[in-house]
Amino acid sequence: MVASVPVTIPIRALKLSPGSHLLIENISWDQYDALLTELGEERVSPRINYCNNTLELMAPLPIHERPNRLIADIVKALLDSQDRDWEDFGSTTFRKAQAAGLEPDTCFYIKNAEYMRTCERFDPAQDPPPDLSIESDVTSRTTLETYGLLQVPEVWIYTSGTLEIYILQGDDYVLSNESLTFPSLPLGEMIPELLQQAKQIGSRKMLKQLRSDLAQS
């Protein structure tokens, strides 16, 4: 009987087609940490999530990227109209040692914008989590679980023309009709309508009109 030999494939040899994701279980924190080091911080793809010994590698589609960038632009316009500071941390890797690591589609520091303004590398021992994270067309089964471990207070998930707002209560998320960041705005209706406008008239014109409307309100 010939003994089976485990197959080892260098992580850089894995090529994920756009829109696909790979789920790998029984991965230790040290293995996850070594993977991040090997792939480096300047990569665009794959996106990497880690939660309770499960690793996910995801390759976003262009149709995935466009909504989250437009929603980020809308968030900036809304915050600017309210004269509130913000720092956009994009897909920065956020980690909780031995438990979780996540790269959001995009995220913002708002309440903690001043504190994080000069941050060049996130330090989980002293830096707070983002105030708001945005995800588009989530396929990850661990996304909200990972966010819960990281204690991100508010997560928006946009998929199939619908915006869902999740608010952290304890260690779990509750679906909410009201945003912590913009409690007076009907974002569930507003965001999908603005994204539809961007398709019809173009992103620049949509954002220009939004800023004009906000200045007059």
Distance between CA atoms of residues 217 and 42, nearest Å: 40
Domains of the chain by range and CATH? 62-216 (3.90.1570)
Q: Is 75 exposed, middle or buried (0-12, 13-18, 19+ CB in 10 A)?
A: buried
Position 198 scores a pLDDT of: 96
Percent of the chain at pLDDT exceeding 70:
84
Band of residue 6 on the pLDDT scale cut at 50, 70, 90: very low
CA distance 16 to 164: 28
What's the pLDDT score for residue 47? Answer: 81
More confident residue, 47 or 147: 147
